[in-house]
Amino acid sequence: MKNKFILSLLMFFFSLQIFASSSQTEKNFIKASLSEKIKIIENLKEKDLVPVTQKALDFSIENAAILKEDKDLTSLALACVLVLPSDQESAKNLTSSDLQLFSEKFMTIFKLFKNPELRRAIMKNLEFYSGSDQSLTVSFLNDYLSSAYKANESEKNILEEAIITIGKIGDNESLSIIYNVWVSKIWDKYHDSIDEALVSLSQDSFGDAIRIISSSKIEDIAHYFKILKKSDKISENSLCQIAENALLIAINNVENLSAKSKDSEKAFVGFQLDAQEVLTAHKWSHASSAINSNILLAKKAYDKGTMDEKDFVKLIKSSVQIPSHDLAQTLTDMLSECNGKVEKASSDAKIEMPAKSVVLALITALGELGDKTAFDTLLSVTYLSYPLEVVDEAKKSLQALNW
């Protein structure tokens, strides 16, 4: 009996404390009409900001299903979002738990209300209010963008805000969603924001970027890599890893280019140039096998006419930045083929002489590699009916070989 009395007494004092801690503004808000509630929110003092806006947001959530899209209820929710601080400086009196609580309420209201102005205001604040634990916000944004993508929605400004935010705080699932959006061009009017989000999400997700590339069309791989290559957000290490792996994936699947279409072949050539440029510029030695394979494929494309002479020469010249014995052998075989054509052309006028720029590029590259594998082939150049410029270059390369 005594214990029950003490417990009752404690509960009484606790209720008095709660009552005493409630400000007059909170009491006024509870008693006010909807229109009066809005005015109270719009004129809140700093000390009443957190408790009263929480009550107002709870009120909006509790009555959303009953009042549906009531204009005043929507205005109340919007007033709460707008009155709350949106940066670190103005939110210095908000605790991390306050931020988390508001974040959760914002996401609930976003789902319950369809008003574009309210939804955009919420979307603009979500990143800030997500605080240090952004997992709930990221999951919410992933669900929203995924659903909007499947439904082909076009909510003005809201989608773009969501894309910008997910680009800053998203995860590997976000990357897949944004990539699908980017490929489909479903929201092409936001292409700048989509490109930026795609780059931001790719910079720390090397494995996910490669996974996406492995299941993409060559046209999309080429365009995606070009965007990454142009960005200053992607580290040298990440870009080289992506270039090497993407190049190997593309090379291994080159036979599957969609019906060998002109667009696919053109995209592949462009990607070959971009990927090798990145790898050779940074002398990424891990990619020696990929570079050798790339040169072999480039030769096929050049012979077929899908790669022009200028681009083929460019690839030959840059390849020496990542030297290997296999590359030396590949370039030697190519020069040997040129020698064979020159030898036949001397007795058959119908045989077309190899392009001088290609021959010079091969000879110079072999000299820079210095692999003695090329000795016999370079020596043969000096005895064939090449222009004097070519013969002189072959002599220089012979002297540069390592013995």
Distances (CA, A) of 141 to 109, 125, 171, 191, 321: 14, 13, 11, 18, 44
Whether residue 352 contacts residue 345, with contact meaning beta carbons closer than 8 Å, is answered with: yes
Cα distance between residue 68 and residue 77, in whole Å: 13
pTM: 0.84
Cα distance between residue 249 and residue 275, in whole Å: 12
pLDDT confidence of residue 140: 97
Beta strands in 247-308 (DSSP E): none
3-state class (DSSP) for residue 93: coil
Digitized pLDDT (tens) for each residue of the chain, 403 residues in all: 555 555 454 454 444 444 445 689 999 999 999 999 999 999 999 889 999 999 999 999 999 999 978 999 999 999 999 999 988 888 888 888 999 999 999 999 999 999 999 999 999 999 999 877 899 999 999 999 999 999 888 887 899 999 999 999 999 999 999 999 999 999 999 999 999 999 999 987 888 999 999 989 899 999 999 999 999 999 999 999 999 999 999 888 877 654 467 888 889 999 999 999 999 999 999 999 999 999 999 999 999 999 999 999 999 999 999 999 999 999 999 999 999 999 988 777 677 899 999 999 999 999 999 999 999 999 999 999 999 999 999 999 999 999 8
Structure tokens at 147: 């659903």
Cα distance between residue 37 and residue 72, in whole Å: 10
